[in-house]
Chain A
Amino acid sequence: DAGVIQSPRHEVTEMGQEVTLRCKPISGHNSLFWYRQTMMRGLELLIYFNNNVPIDDSGMPEDRFSAKMPNASFSTLKIQPSEPRDSAVYFCASSTTANTEAFFGQGTRLTVV
């Protein structure tokens, strides 16, 4: 298995633009997580899905952020409009059940200028 695949690896965009981050979880995993990592705030859980259903989005910073999981093999995190303070590394992770290891993608490094 190729592991969790995220795209793009790097994204530089101008303030106000829409940004879409993509994630393909490991096949057979039924939980998917989106995290954001910054030096100041560490690794923050934004939202997670179980069996494609959003369970908890309390970590989503504001309405500019939205996430979808249309099927078991694909998820998106969208920021519209983007702001410079959204600059961070965004990680997607997946796992099989609640009590097992979460596997991470390599992350998307987002820079909003």
Chain B
Amino acid sequence: RKEVEQDPGPFNVPEGATVAFNCTYSNSASQSFFWYRQDCRKEPKLLMSVYSSGNEDGRFTAQLNRASQYISLLIRDSKLSDSATYLCVVNVDSSASKIIFGSGTRLSIRP
């Protein structure tokens, strides 16, 4: 089983739609969680951290469910500029910096 798994997509949704991605992780001791965004032929960049209580940043909401070992990302009122690959990221080793990326979910927003 992979340490971090996510649906590869692609998700193709119309502008203005709400879209959600889920990601599961295997190590229950994992301590920190993130969502990254990667544009075509660019490096990944942090979109947002994921906190236990859930957190929101504008149109983006991230949630963590430790009991079921998954994290989610919700994008509301999607824009054309949201088209990208979204990577689920987990620090799977609480004593060190083992940061593992999911394979990414491709999102395409159509006009």
Contacts and interface: CB of A to CB of B under 8 A. Distances in A.
Contacts, number: 60
Interface of B is mostly: loop
B20 interface: no
Nearest to A95: B97
A34 to B, nearest CB: 12
B43 A45 contact: no
Contacts of B96: 48, 50, 55-56, 98
Given A42-B104, A43-B44, A43-B104, A101 B34 contact: yes
Interface of A is mostly: strand
Nearest to B6: A42
Contacts of A35: 101
A104 B36 CA distance: 11
B32 A106 contact: no
Interface string B6-38: 000000000000000000000000011010000
B94 interface: yes
Contact of B97 (A91, A98, A105, A106): A98
Nearest to B38: A43
Chain B CB within 10 Å — which of A43, A48, A107 has the most?
A43
